[in-house]
Amino acid sequence: MSGRPVIVDCDPGLDDAIALLLALASPEEIDLLGITCVAGNVPLAMTERNARIVVELSGRRDVPVHAGCPRPLLRPLNTGERVHGKTGLDGYDWPAPSLPLADAHAVDFIIATCLAADDGAITLCPVGPMTNVATAIVKEPRILPKLREIAFMGGAALVPGNVTPVAEFNIHADPHAARIVLESGARLTMFGLDVTHKAITTPERLDAIRGIGTPAAAAAAAILTFYDRADIERYGARGGPLHDPCVIAYLLRPALFSGKECHVAVETESELTMGQTVADWWGVTGKAASCRVVTGIDADGYYALIRERLACL
């Protein structure tokens, strides 16, 4: 394959599943080197299982799935079954996966894959808590020159949080790991609630996905219908925000998104604001920009891309 070399680090999770399907359906643009799993939306035993289920659904058994860290660096594990269900993929009757886990620990896979690559080659896509990625950076900082970019779903720059008044789930789940990543010096692109809450799965968009008629699209429509129930109640919108696939859509169609370079810090001391991503939007601190914060999206184009790729599976 000749696509962009990518590792997706995830905690499936309903929206993670859609992100994985989008990547797995795009082999010409994305050379998916592997999927690494972390505890987050549900415990690790479920996230690695769910990743293998999605890989099998896509027919891409060539993509290895690696299990990683079972808990955050310092804080207790706090999962999201209220949104994603007990299994993390509630809403559809999934068969048990037959694809085995790859042998290597996710952190070791990230390190080995990066060190074997040319400088500036690898794109890391964390769409869950950043425990695996931060651990890899600390264990082997020589991976940093190998990275083209870390494009991640997490944070909230200018909008409220979704797990505390100021913090987004992925960052709050392991704020110390997020701080390590955001202070790493790598090129960073952040897809936080500022942009994902503009990507709403309306009934019309769900019907369009369901109408594709493929097994992958049927599964996607079912889990998105389940996923929407909590967010519709909370936010009073016609559908829920589809977070994680924004990262993969950006790799495929960067023109769908817009944002701004600024300095972003992660709060790790105060329980009141733990996990807040503090974006210096107007440059008042004088600190150099460290991250591109994405705030704009062509939502119709985003869902058109998802429909196009789901139809390929």
pLDDT in tens, 189-244: 999 999 999 999 999 999 999 999 999 999 999 999 998 677 777 777 788 899 99
Dihedral (CA of 242, 246, 248, 253) sign? positive
- Residue 216: predicted pLDDT: 95
d(CA 198, CA 241): 7
- Residue 229: predicted pLDDT: 73
Burial of 39 (0-12, 13-18, 19+ CB in 10 A): buried
Residue 297: beta bridge partners?
A: 257
d(CA 184, CA 177): 11
Provide CB contacts within 8 A for 116, sequence distance 6+: none
- Residue 310: predicted pLDDT: 97
Name the one residue in this structure whose structure tokens are 């100021």.
166
Cis previous bond, 128, omega within 30: no
- Residue 108: predicted pLDDT: 98
* Structural domain span for residue 229: 4-310
pLDDT along the chain (313 residues), means of 10: 91 97 98 98 98 97 98 96 92 95 98 98 98 98 98 98 97 98 98 97 96 95 85 78 97 98 98 98 97 98 98 95
- Residue 6: predicted pLDDT: 98
Q: For the chain, what is the domain count?
A: 1
pTM over 0.75: yes
- Residue 237: predicted pLDDT: 78
- Residue 236: predicted pLDDT: 76
pLDDT in tens, 16-34: 999 999 999 999 999 999 9
Which CATH number goes with the domain that contains 110?
Answer: 3.90.245.10
- Residue 239: predicted pLDDT: 85
Q: What are the residue numbers of the active site?
A: 243
d(CA 67, CA 70): 8
Provide CB contacts within 8 A for 165, sequence distance 6+: none
- Residue 235: predicted pLDDT: 79
Provide CB contacts within 8 A for 300, sequence distance 6+: none
